[in-house]
Chain A
């Protein structure tokens, strides 16, 4: 599915519409390694992948974020095998949420384009210098055709700007990149990485604000709020938020908090948005075996001092549709607490 992204880029290169080098490799591990090398040499590098391919990149994902190389990858969210499944869920990116990459989740094709542009500004910001995953739902968004405003290169140029790497591999100015971090220095590297991820929160908000000022489209920075404050708040990410927005139009006192940035996690924004809510419903399109859904766990942590009932809903795994009826079931079971599974074994809701 990511093939469509890189196929299109291959066409651009072939047609002379993009002055770039396509590096074709034998695995995603190599693709990530090649992107690492290119970024280290001082140019903007890009790749796209998903599912098992992203899992195969895993080793290099850590290396790239640790080396503070701000590449941007498009991730077409898909389920993990087995059983073999090529359809949408978020198991792939949730499985690498601790790799040190920024993760931004999109709801529409327009947001994918705009977020890809924003991602370069965010990752390359001097206070951040971290790689970014632009995540979007497999098939539901990757194959869906929608009207999208495509800016011209002239329009985009002043926003994205020229890439000026903070450090690069240059034989005339030799540097050491990727050295051993001994026990007396490794923790300092990781602390700086943690601080960069924290700093990214402000940068994501600022970049989105600037984007809105320039182009008239903004996405709320870290989170998008719809009808908040409300008695019941549904928290989710990705394309399902479009369905939720439609369903909550029919209800009073139900809001949506769409998490746009899962890493860094918008703890402060979640706390603020949910301060007056009685019920919080968290929809996860992934499951952390032996625990709960990943977003549910994060939200529980953010709202540890809150009196609201928090209920997690596992839904839409392996491409199963999350329908308006499913969202109605979420609303009906908003005060259950714990984790419930939606639409599994023929039951609307089960524990």
Chain B
């Protein structure tokens, strides 16, 4: 999790946007549909 700024005890310091994305990731979403175009290799 390279985006984690630093750790605070057992917690990771992240933004609300990261928190939302992680929630979706942990829930195992299979499709993410998005605009605007996001950077991707």
Contact = CB atoms under 8 A, between A and B. Distances in A.
Interface of A: 1-14, 17-28, 30-35, 38-39, 43-49, 53, 72, 74, 76, 106, 108-110, 112-117, 119-120, 134, 136-137, 141-151, 153, 156, 160, 163
Contact of A144 (B10, B11, B16, B29): B16
Interface string B1-13: 1010100111111
6 contacts: A3-B38, A8-B3, A17-B25, A47-B32, A113-B20, A146-B14
A112 B16 contact: yes
A117 B23 contact: yes
B39 A7 contact: yes
Contacts of B35: 24-28, 30-31, 49, 53
A143 B27 contact: no
Interface of B: 1, 3, 5, 8-41
Contacts of B3: 8, 11
Nearest to A162: B28
A5 to B, nearest CB: 5
A31 B33 contact: yes
A22 B40 contact: yes
A23 B16 contact: no
DSSP class of B's interface residues: helix, strand, loop or mixed?
A: mixed
A116 B33 contact: no
B38 A22 contact: yes
A45 B16 contact: no
Contact of A7 (B12, B30, B33, B38): B38
Given A8-B3, A46-B32, A116 B20 contact: yes
Nearest to A155: B26
A44 B37 contact: no
A44 B30 contact: yes
Nearest to A6: B34
Nearest to B3: A8
A83 B15 CA distance: 27
B27 A48 contact: no
Contacts of A45: 29-33
- A-B pairs, top 3 by smallest CB distance, nearest first, are A116-B23, A38-B31, A8-B21
Contacts of B18: 4, 8, 109, 148
A116 B34 contact: no
A22 B28 CA distance: 13
Given A10-B39, A145-B13, A48 B30 contact: no
Nearest to A39: B31
A109 B14 contact: yes
Contacts of B16: 106, 108-109, 112, 136-137, 141-144, 146
Contacts of B36: 3
Contacts of B39: 7, 10
A48 B34 contact: yes
A12 B41 contact: no
A217 B31 CA distance: 28
Contacts of A19: 28, 30
A141 B18 CA distance: 10
A45 B17 CA distance: 17
A46 B29 contact: yes
A163 B24 CA distance: 13
Contacts of B8: 147
Contacts of A28: 35
A9 B32 contact: yes
B30 to A, nearest CB: 4
Contact of B14 (A10, A30, A148, A151): A148
